[in-house]
Structure formats: structure tokens, C-alpha cells
Structure 1
Amino acid sequence: MSNVLVIESSARQQGSVSRQLTEQFIARWRAAHPADSIEIRDLAVEQVPHLDANLLGGWMTPAEQQSEAERAALALSNQLSDELLAADVLVLAAPMYNFAIPSTLKAWLDHVLRAGVTFHYTENGPEGLLKGKRAFVLTARGGIYAGGSLDQQEPYLRQALGFIGINDVSFIHAEGLNMGGDVSEKGLAEAQEKLAQVA
């Protein structure tokens, strides 16, 4: 049995293609892996604070010297990190906002990319501690960006996940969604087809 952690980051609850892809992924995964546990964290519903002085203080200040705000920030970061550590499979749903990932997803990453927890420093440089996990990234994009210079989602997420040791990453891009007609239909259909193959 595997633990699957799903991270939703679309600001929209209705009409979101990334959420639609997530629903389809979960349904197919459950059909293929009925014994697996699936946990969903919705960053639009339970917002994660952006990196601030309280979180930095919680990480760097000895426990007996932490303020109440620093302890609260550290407790949330620990909770998010523990969820990721417990997962065997990570699913990130990431619509493209202004050529990149939603700021809510970046905030989540800032909480879980933690020295001594998900990576550590060695004499040869940083080393990820989450080796052996798989990740699937479901994106929704108004235009067509895959493989081009304007795609700042895939390179960034590959680097961030690889930094903590997750190198087995599959991207499923639904592209051209705002281009109308056959283009948007084709983009969604291709994403759904690939999703069916990997899930």
C-alpha cells in the first residue's frame, strides 16, 4: 500500500481544469490501486502563509527562545513536511499563472524544502532526502508553452523536487486552453490521454 499526497493550488473551485485533471487522476489511481491512501491538501481552502520572519525564526531560534508566533509557524511547517515525508507519491496540480506556478504552491514549497528535513548539506553540496518517491505534475495553461523559453513551471518544479531527491517526475500539460476551438479541445484531450496512461 502506498500513500498519495495531492496538492491542489488553483484559486478557482469551479471551472478549474487542473482540478478536473486531479479528479480524473484520483479516480484512475483508486481504480488501479484500491488499497492506497490518498490525502488531499487544498492550498486555496487552507492557505499556507508565505515565508516570513516568524517561519525563519521558528527554523533558526532555539525552542526555549521562540516566540508564540514562531512556534506556530514551525508547527505548520512541521505538519506540511511530515505529510510530504509520509507520501510515496506526490501529485501537484498547478495552473499556470503569469508564466509560473501559483504563489500558494510556492509558499507550500517554501515550507517543505527544509535543510535537515527534506535535504541536507554534505561536503559535496546539498543532497535530497526524499529519494524513491514519485511525483506527477498536472498543469493547465492558456497558451502553448511546453519546451519553450516561457515555460517557467516545469524547469522550476523539476529543480525544486530534484533538490529534495524526487527525480521520478511526470508532467501532464493541458495546453492551449484559452486559444479556443480545436486547439483547446485538443490540449485537454491530450492531457487526459496521457493522464490515463500514467495513472
Structure 2
Amino acid sequence: MATRILLVTSSILGEHGQSNALASHLRERVAGRDGLAVTHRDLAAESLPHLGLEELSSWQVDPEARSAEQQVLAQRSDSLIEELNAHDVLVLAVPMYNFGIPSQLKAWFDRVMRAGTTFRYTEQGPEGLVKGKRAVILAARGGQYAGTELDSQTPHLKAMLGMIGIVDVSVIYAEGLAMGDSLREAALKEARQAIDGLVADL
């Protein structure tokens, strides 16, 4: 059976986005390889609305009792969770916007982090219900932030993934992309090599 990769991109810059370039490199390396299959979800091209009370409330209603509107609203979350559960590896290609993640990606997390479905609260604390998966973050940044206080993005992503049960998380950084041509090219080359190694290990 093929290893199924869910690739989620969220850059608003389209073909000019460096995180999208890293995602494209991954897809090129996977293409034609036996035993690997990729599903690409572009959250910028097919954006989700911000989560609102009516949609949140629809999750609390028994599926058989939902109104037609509630069924449509709940289906957004249901389908994204089904897609996540159907894959073995989650790859998030993430640009850094104002020290955080794109709002498009946050809207995705708001729907896959669902109490009672992808995690639950117990007397010992929260328990993730999405088991046996790994995640890889392709992090593209204009500056150099990894390992510093300004990198609030990495711990945020790891915390959200861990909440739903994905604790095997690795990060491939491409940093300093706005700090001159030589630094940019060196960072992208290193990131592409790391992606090559990732694909070889899958």
C-alpha cells in the first residue's frame, strides 16, 4: 500500500511564494515514485472562511438532527478531518506572516482540531485521537528566527499538532530568504536537500 502524503499549502503569493516552491519541489521528487502518493490542498486557492458560532454549533448537533444548513456547515470540518485521517504523512508548507501562520492555515486548524473527534479531554488532560501519523513543516521565512523568541510559529504548530495526537513532527527551515541573494540561495538549496532526504526515507 502506498504511503499517502497530505500536502497543505497556505501562501497567498502563488507561484512566487517560497513555501510553495518548497512544496513544488516535494511534489516533483514524489512524482513517479512507487509507493508514494500526494494529495495537495491549497488553502489560498480554496480558502476557508473564519470559523463562526453557527458552524461551531453545528458540530454539537447529532448528524441525524442537523438542519440542511447545519449539515453544510458541519461538512466543512467533517471532510477535512476525513481527509487528514486518510493520509499517513501531513506536510505543511508554511510561510511566516507577522511572526505567525497564515490565517488561511489557522482556519484549517480550527476545523481539524475538534473536541470529541480529533482530541478529547480526560481527567489526565487532553488526549489526541489522530494516531500513527507524522508531520513535516516546510518553514519559509524572510528573516532568521529558528530557535529564537521571535519564532512563535514553530511551537504553535507543534502544540496544535500534538493536541490532536501528531507528535512525530520535524521541521525543514528555509530562512533568511529576504536577506540577500547568496543567503537565499544557500537556504533554499539546503531545504531542497532536506526534502530529498525526507522523500527518500518515506
Report the TM-score, using the length of structure 1 for normalisation: 0.93
Q: How far apart are the structure 1 equivalents of 2:191 and 2:36?
A: 24
**Equivalent position of 1:13 in the other structure:** 14
CA distance in 2, matches of 1:24, 1:63: 40
- What residue number does 2:4 align with? 3
- In structure 2, what is the equivalent of residue 39 of structure 1? 39
Q: Unmatched 5+ residue regions in structure 2?
A: none
Task: Report Cα offsets for 1:97-141 as digits up to 9, x if no partner.
Answer: 111110000000000011121112222111111221011111110
> What does residue 99 of structure 2 align with?
99
Q: By how many angstroms is 1:64 displaced?
A: 5.8
Whole-angstrom CA distance in 1 between matches of 2:82 and 2:177: 35
Shift of 1:63: 4.2
Per-residue deviation, residues 26-77 of structure 1 (Å, max 9, x unmatched): 222345x523321111111111121101211111234465444332110111
- Spell out structure 1 runs of 4+ moving beyond 6 A: none
Q: 2: distance between equivalents of 1:36 and 1:29?
A: 6
Aligned to 1:176: 176
Letter in 1 for 2:37: S
Do 1:57 and 1:66's aligned partners in 2 also have CA atoms closer than 8 Å?
A: no
Instruction: Look up the equivalent residue of 2:159 and give its one-letter code.
Output: Q
- Aligned residues of 2:11 and 2:44 also touching (Cα < 8 A): yes
Give yes or no for contact 2:30–2:37 (8 Å, CA) kept in 1.
no
Distance 1:130 1:77 in 2: 15
What SS is found at the alignment partner of 2:11?
coil
Structure 1, unaligned stretches of length 5 or more?
none
Structure 1, 189-198 or 96-105: larger mean CA deviation: 189-198
How far, CA to CA, are the matches of 1:195 and 1:37 in structure 2?
Answer: 15
Offset from partner CA, 1:142-165 (integer Å, 9 cap, x none): 000000001111100111111111
Q: CA deviation at 1:23?
A: 1.3
SS at structure 2 position matched to 1:138: strand
Question: Does the aligned pair in 2 maintain the 1:3–1:36 contact within 8 Å?
Answer: yes
Taking the aligned partners of 1:181 and 1:115, their CA distance within structure 2 comes to 45
> Counterparts of 1:24 and 1:57 in 2: how far apart (Å)?
39
Q: CA RMSD in A?
A: 1.6
SS in 2 for 1:60: coil
Q: Report what 1:116 is aligned to.
A: 116
Count of aligned residue pairs for this structure pair: 198
Structure 1 stretch 61-70 or stretch 18-27: which is displaced more? 61-70
- Identity of paired residues, percent? 47
Q: Which amino acid aligns with 2:8?
A: I
